[in-house]
Amino acid sequence: MKEQIWKFIFCTNHKKLPNLSLENELSNRAMVTQVAISLLANLSVLSPGMGLGYPAITSQLLRQDQTVILSESQVSWFASITAIACPIGGPIAAYCTNKFGRKGTLIIIDFISITLWFIIGLSSRNDSQILFIQLMIARFLTGITIGMITTPAVMYSSEICHPKLRGRLTVLSTPFFIAVGMVLVYLLGYLMIDDYRLVSFYAFGITILTLIVCIFMPESPVHLVLKNDIKEAKKVLSLLRNLDENDPKISNEIQQIQQNAIAAGLQTSFLSVFYEFKKPELYKPFFIMLGFFAIQQLSGIFVIFIYAAQFSLEAGVAIDEFLSTVIIGVIRLIMTFIVAFASDKFGRKPIAIVSSSGMFLSMIGLALCSFFSISQSSLFWLPTTFLYFFILTGTIGILALPFSMVAELYPQKSRSIAVGLSLSFCFILSFFTVKTFSTVFEMFGSGIIFSFYAIIALLGILFSLFILPETKDKTLQQIENYFKNQ
């Protein structure tokens, strides 16, 4: 059985796989080529992932630097400003993917990432105000790259891959490499505890490598067809499909791309979407998604990845806080795989209920540990257990599901604008929770804050039970009809 699996994955001969065919047959070689190119293209996601996790290993050091120290307010701005910049990245990515292509946009993101890591690496060592300005510029650029990266990465994977491969690759690739990037920066932070600038230079080097890889990648055939470069599109499709350039299937696929482009040209204006909000098939899922994102951001599951080291200290973990940060990243990485398969197998609603329940129990446990100073007793291992169980259950549901469901619930006509509004709401809440994290912990204490997170998780259970719809095995049209007729 194992030999068959390895042969299935790595075989590069020209035999066909009839069970994988939809419109065209997919050879082993074509399958391996498409998977490899998709994964290599998503290497550009590593830097935004590292940027997302960077405050977790940096915030403590910025308060304790031997030469320059930032104030508590400055550190909170350092951690939260990315959430302000993220919404800016989306429109920039939309413009760049059309103007410069999917590959071209990934290269632009790599150049921005190289710049921001370079700024941090050479940041001032003797003037706190100059240091703060440099870090703000770098972190703002980080937010732009995080906001930009999903569009070209997902588009590239979906446009080069056979339909049978497309679903899993687009669902797994970008979240996986975001998680890998976070683990990388957590690990670098653990190995170089006292030098966040050195960490940035390693991130700089990694991004240089991803840029080199990206330069040698082929452009998306869809973009080439849209730019009327049919000759180059045929070459790329020939490589991806393992077919001759003159094969009729290549010509048919190019024709299909052209037809899809004409259909997609009928754009929906923002004003027309505003009128669509009068219809239940739009306003009902819109308010559901606002509620879901509110639970996600106020439950503590997102902020923990930004302040992993400090959160571990507040929770009273029994191990080094930077090692705890690495473990947190690894748990997220593993759960990224599991959630992609679990949501299809068990459905969104049951997973959301289980996730909220696990988070509720974990935060009740952490609150009790904080109130009764359990970390100082023989049960010192309990806070660590509760914290990691919170991350495990939170990652598989409340962290991941809102992002995967946001495109499912909205009708086709108004999907892009409705998704953008929902994500903007998410980013605003993210900025609020990250910016105020240190302040509220100092004002109210960890026990009260953990209790608040538990209350939000309890609301998440009720929300998942009575409000959140199930979308498993339903077409987009069935989901739209559900809200229309509800």
Determine the Cα–Cα distance for residues 230 and 251; give it in Å rounded to an integer: 9
- Coil, helix or strand at residue 3: helix
**Is there a shared CATH topology between the 25-217 domain and the 270-486 domain?**
yes
Determine the Cα–Cα distance for residues 245 and 225; give it in Å rounded to an integer: 14
Q: CB under 8 Å to 77, separation ≥6 — which residues?
A: 132, 136, 435
List the CATH code of the domain at 25-217: 1.20.1250.20
Domain residue spans of the chain: 25-217, 270-486
Q: CB under 8 Å to 44, separation ≥6 — which residues?
A: 106, 109, 110, 149, 153, 210, 211, 214
> What architecture is domain 270-486?
Up-down Bundle (1.20)
Structure tokens at 394: 């939170």
Nearest 10 degrees: Cα torsion 29, 33, 36, 38: -140
Per-residue pLDDT in tens (0 to 9) along the chain, 486 residues: 433 433 333 343 433 333 333 344 567 888 888 888 888 988 999 999 999 989 888 876 666 655 778 888 888 898 889 988 988 888 888 788 888 988 999 999 999 999 999 999 999 888 889 999 999 999 999 999 998 887 788 788 878 887 777 656 766 677 888 889 999 999 998 888 778 899 999 999 999 999 999 999 999 888 888 888 888 988 988 888 888 888 888 888 888 888 776 665 555 555 666 777 888 888 999 999 999 999 999 999 988 888 887 777 777 776 777 888 888 889 988 888 787 777 768 888 999 999 999 999 999 999 998 888 776 666 777 888 899 999 999 998 899 888 878 777 888 677 767 877 888 899 889 999 988 988 898 899 889 999 999 999 999 999 999 999 988 878 777 888 888 887
